[in-house]
Structure 1
């Protein structure tokens, strides 16, 4: 067996005194062997990212290493002078971050950011650096490297930005690559491409990878060995096949049980023809017109092309597809957050499409939205209570009644009444998503539109939010449109599914039929790209 390139022994990192526990990680011990992919898995707060940041020397000042050692090729990283450690970053050890848009400099071109790494490590010949930049962009599969290197991050898709992060990380052929949730918010096909890219490049270059994730499907696809962490402690580790198929620790079994699975049988839902229609969409169209500058050509992007759908009371309609398929554009048009070019949107028989904002305002409470990023959609300067009550009060609800209703709904979504007086930053991601759902329910809507509402959550928290949505829907007989790129989630919660591709609905039907026996090649490609599709989770 090859020896370890990285050895973590009894690592303990302390947290500030006001935190709910004393240590971010405590007594963590594991090895990263040469040429292997080690997956570190656990929920948010388990200590995965803190462990990675400690290895890279990127811990925030409020956290302190209070015990243990981190050995890289026999060298103690924790006792190493900062100047010597900085020389190792990028050259010997490199990191891919979860959110490439926030990790990349928005004011620098892609090529300049890769070039900056080379300059920092002593590459003085500009022509050699330019050739290396083009080589890296080509190696990670980006189109037209000579043109793309002059683009800024905001002009690239999520998958392309993640490829740029991989190019930067691989620029100096490091021995160890740490990937911190690099595929969490990507659609299934882009995720599959990124995982395959990482696997191919690392096998070819003989690197070692520490891959942080919360998705056991990803683990099944790429891991050689697995480390499972819970609340700062390492609770299980071993070969991937052993941990996946014969987990020993109860926490590992709970994580695996939370992995959403494709539904194999049709759900026992009432016949849609027997339920009243609450929303009908006919031939909806939306085209975006953009310009490439003063002398540039105008571009026309048909985001929604002739979409029609019917949503009945108490029904959940899933909308799935890759990034850029038109899912979210359709959702924004349905909410009248974006205007449509043509078509009809009949909300309980009223065509809301031609209505002005003033005309639509009395109807707006009947259709509400739960956004993908609850932190961005909540005002950080307002308490949760203020965010929940400002809309109903503006719609005419008495202040006292709005406050009482907010506290009642917070309890219904599983939050303590004290949440009313707290601020969004004081909550975890799953708790903020519960707040987003509670805010939408303040209006007693008839239609709830959930846009990627669970895509960035841990599988266990994701399962809790899906269970909450199903319970609330049943209690209130809500109709729900559930937009997602995760086919496993759509299979769990949806009664009917629409598959969108390039603005069009290419296939529709019950999830058991759509995902088990797809008729369209595009749908088959989505199903084939599901992480861990070859692995059946243990019961």
Structure 2
């Protein structure tokens, strides 16, 4: 689908005012060019704003709005294919864009520092956590090893990581997502910078971990008096953390002002659309007909992962799913919520028979599929399909969209011509042009790739769809479109759905019944309005309290 044409900036939005006296960083008329083959000329165009001393400034907008390009330009980390076409970035009386690279490198980390969105990609997998923090100190002239060791432990303690003397010797893959993000914050804070840029640091985290990271950034910012530029697409996060807000659309700065004003009285239509797209906790539950037939019945489901640390090493067991049971009816959506590590995705893999369970029953239209071999289950597999969290990773980059959509049905016995015609029709149903059939996954946006993932699942005419964090990485406006698509397809096809998510707002919007999982076990279940408005379990209460922007 083509992107909407960006709206004009609000005329009275102050873009070119002189920098206020308390400005730490001033951006004036910044324009960054894109390669000629792109869909627009500039990644950002003539944007101006100030970051004031001791404030948290949120930059919000959809993917492609220019948020991260702005941050990368400030840090001097633009990719070679992008060029600064005009403007100035003033820090400490000097234009950063006019400085030679050697001087900018000296400022990077010491005066201006950045927390990246994906810590697993940003951290070196071959270096311990302590060595990576130590590397920053060495690069900026810390020669005394004992001082560096003390600073590493101090930073790990400051960001709330457990047992710093032990953790400093761990590698990134051994840490949870929230712990890796805390390490990134420790690296960014190593030299007490004046300006901290946080680029979507909580997007992939569950609500409680996200709240911890937001609280940590806010506490350290106040403690050190830093100025923070916080990039996000979630207005709930803005409500929690921002002093002022900048809204960007297609490279243009369309609105800016105090957070309270932008959140409660947005002036620009684009800002109004973004705020309207934020999911909210539902007040009342949807009614499901009592006579809807049961399509899936799960009881006593157990799954334990067992690992050992080598020959004669200690054996480790993690009980991912414990005594799980629920019923799914035709046309119903059962939501599964909980933190990372609660067992949500393990449950989905077991239900899809992508991994074996240790005990229990999974009755698909009365047939227990748990003891079936792969060969026995293969004829039943089309009836239960999955939509994955990352459609780019789950689609073969070397196959066209058409090949990805038709290879499964053809393997199940459908004639190629019939599969091709069906793929064109389903592409229309999910809001894509049938010409997408001939293109490759990298040619599509994140929201479009997720539509392709949904189309692939629908090619089998399934009775059940399992959506595993299918909207967690999407902007709120694209997320709203995908949720609307799920709802429409479910109504048209009378599908049953299992919707796995860590976002309680999304679960409230789309689900008829919710299971709250904690350490592999369902601790509370019921209709979403009751679960989220009047939770009975302490763990559920902690999840609800952690919802960004929740009062």
Instruction: Confirm or deny a common fold (TM above 0.5).
Output: yes
1:9 aligns with 28
SS of aligned partner of 1:78 = helix
Once residues 309 and 216 of structure 2 are traced to their aligned partners in structure 1, the CA distance between those partners, rounded to angstroms, is 31
Q: Does 1:213 align with 2:257?
A: no
**Residue of structure 2 aligned with 1:41, choices 60, 78, 84:** 60
Q: Does 1:224 align with 2:243?
A: yes
Checking the alignment, whether the CA contact within 8 Å between 1:317 and 1:481 is kept in structure 2 is yes
Q: Does 1:470 align with 2:487?
A: yes
Once residues 375 and 438 of structure 1 are traced to their aligned partners in structure 2, the CA distance between those partners, rounded to angstroms, is 14
Q: Which range moved further: 410-419 or 354-363? A: 410-419
2:129 aligns with 110
Offset, 1:293:
3.4
2:400 aligns with 383
* Greater than 4 Å deviation, 4+ residue runs: none
Q: Does 1:350 align with 2:350?
A: no
Q: Does 1:448 align with 2:460?
A: no
Aligned length: 532
SS of aligned partner of 1:440 = helix
Offset, 1:267:
1.8
Once residues 79 and 312 of structure 2 are traced to their aligned partners in structure 1, the CA distance between those partners, rounded to angstroms, is 46
**Residue of structure 1 aligned with 2:287, choices 268, 281, 288:** 268
Checking the alignment, whether the CA contact within 8 Å between 1:70 and 1:77 is kept in structure 2 is yes
- TM-score (norm. length: structure 1): 0.98
**Residue of structure 1 aligned with 2:547, choices 516, 530, 539:** 530
Matches within 5 A, 1:358-369: 358-369=375-386
SS of aligned partner of 2:97 = coil
Give a deviation string over 1:260-308, Cα, whole Å, max 9, x none.
Answer: 000011223323xx11000000100000111233453111100000000
1:139 aligns with 158
Once residues 92 and 366 of structure 2 are traced to their aligned partners in structure 1, the CA distance between those partners, rounded to angstroms, is 69
1:537 aligns with none
**Residue of structure 2 aligned with 1:280, choices 284, 297, 307:** 297
Q: Does 1:514 align with 2:531?
A: yes
Once residues 410 and 119 of structure 2 are traced to their aligned partners in structure 1, the CA distance between those partners, rounded to angstroms, is 39
Offset, 1:521:
0.5
Offset, 1:130:
1.1
2:13 aligns with none
Offset, 1:2:
5.8
**Residue of structure 2 aligned with 1:168, choices 158, 167, 187:** 187
Offset, 1:460:
0.3
SS of aligned partner of 2:182 = helix
Once residues 287 and 364 of structure 2 are traced to their aligned partners in structure 1, the CA distance between those partners, rounded to angstroms, is 26
**Residue of structure 2 aligned with 1:122, choices 126, 141, 155:** 141
Matches within 5 A, 1:410-449: 410-449=427-466
Q: CA RMSD in A?
A: 0.8
1:235 aligns with 254
**Residue of structure 1 aligned with 2:41, choices 6, 22, 45:** 22
SS of aligned partner of 1:71 = strand
2:352 aligns with 335
For structure 2, list consecutive stretches of 5 or more residues without a partner in the other structure: 1-19
2:202 aligns with 183
SS of aligned partner of 1:369 = strand
Offset, 1:31:
0.3
Checking the alignment, whether the CA contact within 8 Å between 1:2 and 1:34 is kept in structure 2 is no
Once residues 21 and 511 of structure 2 are traced to their aligned partners in structure 1, the CA distance between those partners, rounded to angstroms, is 47
Offset, 1:128:
1.1
Give a deviation string over 1:178-199, Cα, whole Å, max 9, x none.
Answer: 0000000100000000000000
For structure 1, list consecutive stretches of 5 or more residues without a partner in the other structure: 535-539
1:92 aligns with 111
